[in-house]
Amino acid sequence: MPNRTLTVTQAIVVDTFREAFARKIFWGLFALSTLMIAFFLFIMKIDIMQGATATISLFGNRADANVDADMMVRKVQAGVAAFLYTWGMFLAVFASAGLIPSVLEPGRIELLLSKPVSRAHLLLGRYLGNVLVVGGNIAYLVCGIWLILGIKTGIWTPAFLIAIVTTMFLFAVLLSVVVLIGVLLESTALAVMVPTGLMLISPVLAQVEMMDRLLSSEWSRALWRTLYHCLPKVYDIGRLTMDIVLGTKIQTLTPIATTAAVGAAILALSIHIFRRRDF
Amino acid sequence: MTAFAIETNGLSKTFRSFWSGREVRAVDGISLQVEKGTTYGLLGPNGAGKTTTVKMLLSAVHPTAGSAHIFGQNAAIPEARRDIGYLPENHRFPTYLTGYAMLDFYGALSGMDSPSRRRRIPELLALVGLDDWGDIRLGKYSKGMLQRVGLAQALMHEPKLLILDEPSDGVDPVGRRQIREILQSLEQRGVTIFVNSHLLAEVEAFCRDVAILHRGKIVLQGKVRDLTAGRGYRLTVPAGLPEKLREEIVLRASSFSPRETFLDIQFLERAAANSAIDLLRANHIEIESLLPTTSTLEDVFIRSVNAQ
């Protein structure tokens, strides 16, 4: 039985990759990652001077001040992590939003459901495949930049590699929203809009202390706090990733725990709806 | 150990509109018993509930009442579908897959291990006449070829029950014959074949048992042989028989039906037909034609549906 489960999971994951290849999703993300790696390889130049200080030059223009080399590398990596976290995440959600509704198309879903596989297994297999398609590209991009910066500067900061884990984690949570929209409404457009909306609203919602002061009524403060705690904390995890990459002391890991709980709850709700639906 | 490949009891499905709350009863308490090893045809006009019934057997649609069992197992359990091979109507196979990759994917979902799939795929591609097309993407296949590779997909894991929704749809006559030969060889090996089709002549030629579904209910079911047993003779004569002669003929005939300038008279017995001919000839009435008749499945189908 475990072998059969593995065979089925592997088949669904491979199928997701094949569809991602065919829709040029994988190659599109791969090309963007390669472009970014090429930027670091050929255009950005970091010179280490006198051991601990460095200058950075872009398109041949050198920055004015010499800075701490380790901090310089960390800041560059934090910039990459921030890019990944915002634009990278948007691109990943945009690219993979169609992969869930596509399997629910009439004529395709009936055949999948006729196989001796539970609906939860089908959905989770597809989800896993999707996470791996994007995760593969994130790992390629982060590892590529990490290697180039390491080779160019001789400074190796493993903390940057944490960005692979946190970015994949956040994508997995946002993908659970994509899955929920997919099984509920089968709309690719909404599957892009809702996670993007969550990403945009997150920095605003994260200002809980300020809003506590600004909002006049208790119910509006309570509503704000509820929304903050019930929605994925995209902004907080982004800040956490920056802190890890920059070597700053981490205040709390609570955003990760609550976001994981929200993601798991959304995924469980998606499975519940998928199991009850008629096709 | 059950004797039935498919058994449903009062199976019903009501679709309810989320916004208006309006209800449509697509399937209304049907009870089917499909014996193991038989060939069974599910017939009915459009919207009769055939596809919904099939989807409930596969658990793609959840019944609102009643039960469905496959080889004695509740159809809602994934394990019950282990012995089912299914070819859907209006299938949409992933066009990014090649024929080989498609069979490999669905074979894996059916629980086949990799060596079994590698052995089985070339056999099946050859069986459906697509051995040269295994490496070509499905997007390049014609409708008939997709239907054949779809059949191969349904046969991948050597199922004991084959559920086919319009299996000959879009297939040319040669391909249709090929599919029929494949199904006949499967029948000889004891595979139960459940066909949902509009092609009545094909169902009549291939299936041993049928059920006719109309407005969600079974209006007739039984052995094709028994249902089409209405043999007799049809005599065609010019219309406008003298009244007295007409009354004499009516006593012997089972039915009368005017057709343009002729009158078709149906007799159940040869003796009655001969007696009527004697009478007609004695009155110098010209006989246009005399044909032995059988009741086709189409006749049975139309009678059953019109009777409702």
Predicted pLDDT at A74? 85
Give the Cα-Cα-Cα angle A163, A240, A154 (nearest 5 degrees): 45
User: What burial letters (b/e) apply to A195-228, b meaning 16+ CB within 10 Å?
Assistant: bbebbeebeebbeeeebeeeeeeeeebeebeeeb
CB atoms < 10 A from the CB of B150, how many? 25
Structure-token pair, residue B222:
């039984």
On chain A, the residues whose CB falls within 8 A of the CB of B81 are 114-116
- CB of B31 closer than 8 Å to CB of B8: yes
CA pair distance B150, B168, nearest whole angstrom:
11
pLDDT of A59 over the 60 cut: no
Predicted pLDDT at B64? 96
Distances (CA, A) of A232 to A95, A198, A208, A243, A266: 20, 7, 14, 19, 10
Q: Count of A–B CB contacts within 8 Å?
A: 88
Is the four-CA dihedral B117, B120, B122, B127 of positive or negative sign? negative
Among B83, B109, B117, B158, the strongest candidate for a mutation testing the A interface, having the largest count of A CBs within 10 A, is B109
Instruction: Read off the pLDDT of residues B43-57 as tens digits, 9 standing for 90 and up.
Output: 988 889 999 999 999
CA pair distance B253, B214, nearest whole angstrom:
31
CA pair distance B142, B163, nearest whole angstrom:
22
- CB of B274 closer than 8 Å to CB of B222: no
Instruction: Read off the pLDDT of residues A2-30 as tens digits, 9 standing for 90 and up.
Output: 688 999 999 999 999 999 999 888 888 88
Strands, sheet with B161-165, edge to edge from the N-terminal-most edge strand: B84-87, B161-165, B192-196, B39-43, B209-214, B217-223
The verdict on a CB contact (< 8 Å) between A278 and B61 is: yes
- Of the options 3.30.420.240, 3.40.640.10, 2.70.180.20, 3.40.50.300, the CATH number for the domain spanning B4-227: 3.40.50.300
Searching chain B, which residue's CA lies closest to the CA of residue A10?
B108
Instruction: Read off the pLDDT of residues B242-297 as tens digits, 9 standing for 90 and up.
Output: 999 998 998 898 877 777 788 888 888 889 999 999 999 999 999 999 988 777 78
State the burial class of residue B7 (Cβ atoms within 10 Å of its Cβ: 0-12, 13-18, 19+): buried
Q: Are strands B161-165 and B192-196 parallel, antiparallel or unpaired?
A: parallel
Domain boundaries, chain A: 2-276
Q: Which CATH class is domain B232-306?
A: alpha beta
Average pLDDT over residues B183-210: 89
Residue A62 pLDDT level (bands cut at 50, 70, 90): low
Residue A63 pLDDT level (bands cut at 50, 70, 90): low
Query: Bridge partners of B40?
Result: B194, B209
CA pair distance A29, A134, nearest whole angstrom:
8
The verdict on a CB contact (< 8 Å) between A112 and B92 is: no
Residue B90 has φ and ψ, to the nearest 5°, of 50, 45
Structure-token pair, residue B150:
């779809």
Of B58, B92, B163, the CB nearest to A107: B92
Residue B170 pLDDT level (bands cut at 50, 70, 90): confident
Instruction: Read off the pLDDT of residues B22-34 as tens digits, 9 standing for 90 and up.
Output: 999 999 999 999 9
Q: Are strands A67-68 and A61-62 parallel, antiparallel or unpaired?
A: unpaired
Predicted pLDDT at B149? 95
> Residue A198: CB partners within 8 Å, gap ≥ 6?
A174, A177, A231, A232, A234
- CB of B210 closer than 8 Å to CB of B50: no
Share of chain A above pLDDT 70, in %: 91
Residue B24 has φ and ψ, to the nearest 5°, of -125, 125
On chain A, the residues whose CB falls within 8 A of the CB of B88 are 107, 110-111, 114
CA pair distance A31, B91, nearest whole angstrom:
34
Average pLDDT, chain A: 88
Residue B212 vs residue A71, higher pLDDT: B212
Average pLDDT over residues B213-239: 85
Q: How many helices (H) and strands (E) does chain B have?
A: 10, 15
Q: How many residues comprise chain A?
A: 279
Residue B216 pLDDT level (bands cut at 50, 70, 90): very high
pLDDT of A43 over the 90 cut: no
Residue B173 vs residue B25, higher pLDDT: B25
Q: Which residues of A lie closer than 8 Å to B, measured between beta carbons?
A: 3-4, 7-8, 10-12, 14-15, 18-19, 21-23, 105-118, 276, 278-279
Query: Bridge partners of B265?
Result: B235, B256
ipTM rounded to 2 decimals: 0.83
Instruction: Read off the pLDDT of residues A230-251 as tens digits, 9 standing for 90 and up.
Output: 999 999 998 898 888 888 888 8
Predicted pLDDT at A124? 96
Average pLDDT, chain B: 90
The verdict on a CB contact (< 8 Å) between B88 and A22 is: no
Of A7, A105, A106, the CB nearest to B113: A7
pLDDT of A66 over the 70 cut: no
On chain B, the residues whose CB falls within 8 A of the CB of A98 are none
pLDDT of A44 over the 80 cut: no
